[in-house]
Amino acid sequence: MNLFGLMETSGSAMQAERMRAEIVAANMANAETTRTESGGPYRRQHVVFAANQPSTSFAEVMGNAPGTPPLLSPLSSPLASPGAHSPAGGVHIAGVVADPAPPLRRYDPGHPDAGADGYVSYPDINPLTEMVDLMGATRAYGLNGSAVQAEKGMIAAALDIVKS
């Protein structure tokens, strides 16, 4: 991993968690939506994360490890070019999928979307579940922000050591 690899990894996680929070907010906003453009009630959405695949192989990473014979010039070192290698970790959004749970049916014969039997189909969205998801996304976003700040402090301390 290069010098800025942690920032890239945390940055990708922050982007993913931001999207997760936006999807939870959309779920909460549409908890009572009984009719969408597609015709039925709103369907709860889920964000699916997937791990980023590093662009270098294990052998390439080990060949560039400290203590191995120098195969690269000093200017082509992983520390010299922050974008040279993709981070070993990180996450991206693989997709946003609709919840397969059937809609909840409530008896409300006066509702404009009521069927002939007087029942209305509502989204199967539990506000408590959505709040827990939102709290998890917020907490993960904050922790990744703290990791970026800690790395910035380590880089600054390393530069101070080099200066003296």
Model confidence pLDDT, tens digit, residues 121-153: 999 999 999 999 999 999 999 999 999 999 999
Q: What is the pTM of this model?
A: 0.74
DSSP one-letter code for 74: G
What confidence tens digit (pLDDT) does each residue in 36-79 have?
Answer: 998 899 999 999 999 987 666 666 666 665 665 554 444 444 44
Question: What residue spans define the domains of the chain?
Answer: 5-163
Residue type, 88: A
Amino acid identity at 44: R
Dist. CA 1–CA 21, nearest whole Å: 29
Residue range 89-114: mean pLDDT, rounded: 93
The H or E element spanning position 90 is none
Q: What average pLDDT does the segment 69-92 reach?
A: 52
Q: Comparing C-alpha atoms, which of 102, 64, 62, 89 is closest to residue 5?
A: 89
**Nearest one of 47, 43, 49 to 100, comparing CA atoms:** 43
* Contact status, residue 47 vs residue 93, Cβ threshold 8 Å: yes
| Residue 29 vs residues 35, 45, 129: alpha-carbon distances, Å | 13, 12, 14
